[in-house]
Structure 1
């Protein structure tokens, strides 16, 4: 008896990447799947993020979704097909997703998530991987993995545990139930709560302000925030001193201090 071989899932997916007023905007653009994640985002998005390091014209990054939703997470049909694939295929899928998460964390400028609609599963993971999170007041977030017998990925357990109590993270992961953006705002996970439809415009305004600021100083601040979670106090003090030494010798601080003395706005760009 012959059997039809299982075809490896197609992980390609539309993604729109553009630059606007000093901001790199990465938009998951597959409304038909409510912006399910895929390799189109991971490969193109990762490449665009890595290119930011050498492009001083970009001062901020926005990650968002098209069609009124952020990201519905992994496509269950794709995940089901992965069950029958060799281990190497699963490893490659994780390499793509987690490589994108690492790139979000490593890019030397602020990254803002602009969330409308739902951020489910890996969509929730990607949102909390960003430095700042702006959400519509009717947005919902869920770690729904448990409802299909899976555990979170994309660093969600790490990012949530850095800012929330153990019991609350356990509730989010154990139940898989949706959490309103307003509750996450009260808990400090969401930076700004805005009316529906205003997440991206608000993110663009914030990103524009950041992009006009001192890029290298912002990069140092991002490094300090990241390292503070794992450094001892002596290590963090040493890091602050070293980065301050770099900053005081940079043209940005010269312009900033000159502008302060001359009582005018600084011109960093």
Structure 2
């Protein structure tokens, strides 16, 4: 799939890395039905690709994503009031794909990540931010609840008290507070964000497959298990990885002092 096939995204496919850019800069990359459809198409293909090693997500222009484009959605929506909004479940499934695909996903948050934009970022495995980024979930000010996984993912990232603080007050969190709270793992000067994303993605891209998938799986499910079962997942993953010649080559190089500089 190329960018020409998509109305709201720019996509670059190197064969091992898929770089997705939300591409409605004039609308601060707000999500329309078309944008959700484009994300669905792209991530459906990612699920079927064994060659891809990493997926990246960022926004064009000054914003990462301003959330749902309620003007466009309201104009297009034909759902009886009071009926269950099944389209929201579909959107949630699309967001889930960023968390569910075997390839690690990396969000480079280049500016405001608001509402569903923050919910989308939270579904990515690694989140790095520009120092210009801000974060908010203002949905309750409109009388609606974050509805594509944001309540649970924010609570897992930051703890329940912080998540309730942000969601119930609709307050804005700057990049440094987001780093302290666990919304993101790195904050860099804005002009360095692209280079930081390149470094993170390249490091993951270089890993022997599917070690990154196994590690992510162990991290995701391990805290929910007792320590013995969590260790069993790690052991089963390494039983697979230690069958690969490339892994033994890397082990030899590591033991020769070529693995990590400075140790």
Bin for the TM-score computed over the shorter chain: 0.7 to 0.9
In the alignment, the residues of structure 1 paired with residue 181 and residue 43 of structure 2 have an alpha-carbon distance, to the nearest angstrom, of 29
State the distance in 2 between where 1:143 and 1:13 align.
26
Q: CA deviation at 1:255?
A: 2.6
1:90 aligns with 2:85: yes
After TM superposition, the score normalised by the length of structure 2 is 0.86
- 1:201 equivalent in alignment to 2:175: no
- Residues 40/199 of structure 1: CA separation in 2 closer, same or farther (3 Å cut): farther
In 2: Cα distance, 1:157 partner to 1:101 partner: 13
34, 37, 51: which one aligns with 2:31: 37
Is residue 30–residue 65 contact of structure 2 (8 Å, CA) maintained in 1?
Answer: yes
Partner of 1:216: 210
Higher relative contact order (CA 8 A, sep 6+): 1
1:71 Cα offset (Å): 0.4
User: Which residue is 1:153 aligned to?
Assistant: 147
Kept after mapping to 1: 8 A contact 2:9/2:20: yes
What is the distance in 1 between the residues matched to 2:48 and 2:250?
23
Instruction: Tell me how large the CA RMSD over aligned residues is.
Output: 2.5
Where in structure 2 are there 5+ consecutive unaligned residues? 1-5
2:247 alignment partner in structure 1: 253
Unaligned runs of 5+ in 1: 1-11
Render the CA deviation track for 1:66-97: whole Å, top value 9, x for unaligned: 11210000112245447752478931x22431
Q: Secondary structure at the match of 1:114?
A: strand
- Offset at residue 252 of structure 1 (A): 3.7
Contact 2:131 2:187 in 1 (8 A): yes
TM value normalised by structure 1: 0.84
**Are the equivalent residues in 1 in contact too, given 2:118–2:137 (CA < 8 A)?**
yes
Q: Distance in 2 between matches of 1:230 and 1:224?
A: 10
Question: Which stretch shifts more, 25-34 or 223-232?
Answer: 223-232
What is the CA-CA distance between 1:245 and the residue it aligns to? Answer: 1.4
- 1:127-166 map, 5 Å: 127-166=121-160
1:40-79 to structure 2, matched below 5 A, reads 40-79=34-73
The verdict on how the C-alpha distance between 1:52 and 1:82 changes in structure 2, with shifts beyond 3 A counting, is closer
Q: 2:32 touches 2:72 (CA, 8 Å); kept in 1? A: no
How far apart, CA to CA, are the structure 1 residues paired with 2:77 and 2:34?
A: 21
Aligned 8 A contact 1:82 1:90 in 2: no
Corresponding position of 2:165: 171
Q: Does the aligned pair in 1 maintain the 2:62–2:111 contact within 8 Å?
A: yes
Q: Against the structure 1 CA distance between its residues 96 and 243, is the aligned structure 2 distance closer, same or farther, given a 3 Å change threshold? A: same
1:54–1:252: structure 2 CA closer, same or farther, 3 Å change rule?
Answer: farther
Q: State yes or no: 1:117 paired with 2:111.
A: yes
